[in-house]
């Protein structure tokens, strides 16, 4: 395979049967089960960097570390266009591994030494960071595998720009109804414009079902199936 100028991008999220990642109030803990949580941490351990947007950082205050399985700690990346995530966020206070704070201008916040601040240009549509520039910056930092964990706006942006190589979706056996969808408007008006992916694996993980999809030519996920998973019939 020829050298890549950008990382392979895997998007992972958990959703209900009706495609919701949270209720209308933003409650999302926990849609999926404990076995799926372990697999999510295995995905992190297999990645060189794990990324969330400012909305997820503010709503969930995640650590984004590998805790439930053995493995290396990835670079944590918070995509914070307007610099909304406060210095008190766990991503900034926890020194378990490095953190990259990406904004559209140099951060004025006083952050610990393990946090690197990176100012990148805004996307041509004026919404969010220019994702090609982001992937280039991550490649310069040695990132070959990027795991994107959300939220909805970030997932939508990566899909809309055609930058997703793999999609890992955990479907939990519950129906939420009105709530926050996993993916927003991609500009698809006809079915022949829709993104179609290869369905590579369907497995049971505890009480959930895990779908692995990928673009044609994308390499397999850099990890084996979770120990508790079995092939779905």
As given in the structure block, the two tokens for residue 185 are 């408007």
What pLDDT shows up at residue 225? 56
CATH topology of domain 8-231: Dihydrofolate Reductase, subunit A (3.40.430)
Specify the DSSP class assigned to residue 127: S
CB 212 within 8 A of CB 40: no
Distance (Å, whole) CA 19 – CA 15: 5
Digit-coded pLDDT (tens) for 80-124: 999 899 999 999 999 989 999 999 987 666 788 889 999 998 887
Beta strands 229-231 and 198-205: pairing type? antiparallel
Digit-coded pLDDT (tens) for 74-83: 999 999 999 8
Q: Please, which pLDDT band fits residue 229 given cuts at 50, 70 and 90?
A: very low
Digit-coded pLDDT (tens) for 172-205: 998 988 888 888 888 889 888 888 899 999 999 8
User: What is the value of pTM for the model shown?
Assistant: 0.90
Q: Please, which pLDDT band fits residue 158 given cuts at 50, 70 and 90?
A: very high
Which residues partner with 9 through β-bridges? 146
Identity of the highest mean pLDDT range in 21-35, 128-142, 184-198, 210-224? 128-142
CB neighbour list of residue 221: distance below 8 Å, 6 or more residues apart: 10, 43, 46, 166, 168, 212
């Amino acid at each position: 395979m020829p050298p890549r100028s950008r990382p392979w991008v895997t998007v992972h999220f958990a959703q209900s049967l009706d495609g919701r990642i949270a209720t209308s109030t933003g409650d999302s803990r926990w849609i999926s089960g404990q076995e799926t949580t372990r697999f999510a941490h295995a995905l992190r351990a297999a990645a060189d960097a794990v990324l969330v947007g400012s909305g997820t950082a503010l709503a969930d205050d995640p650590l984004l570390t590998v805790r439930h399985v053995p493995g290396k700690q990835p670079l944590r990346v918070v995509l914070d266009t307007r610099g909304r995530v406060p210095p008190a966020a766990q991503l900034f206070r926890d020194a378990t591994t490095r953190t990259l704070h990406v904004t559209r201008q140099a951060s004025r916040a006083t952050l610990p030494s393990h946090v690197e601040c990176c100012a990148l240009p805004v996307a041509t549509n004026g919404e969010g960071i220019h994702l090609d520039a982001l992937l280039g910056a991550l490649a310069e930092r040695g990132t070959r595998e990027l795991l994107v964990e959300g939220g909805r706006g970030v997932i939508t942006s990566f899909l809309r720009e055609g930058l997703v190589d793999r999609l890992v979706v955990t479907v939990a056996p519950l129906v939420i109804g009105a709530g926050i969808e996993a993916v927003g408007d991609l500009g698809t008006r006809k079915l022949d414009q829709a993104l179609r992916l290869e369905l590579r694996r369907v497995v049971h993980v505890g009480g959930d079902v895990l779908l692995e999809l990928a673009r044609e030519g994308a390499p397999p996920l850099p990890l084996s199936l979770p120990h508790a998973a079995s092939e779905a019939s």
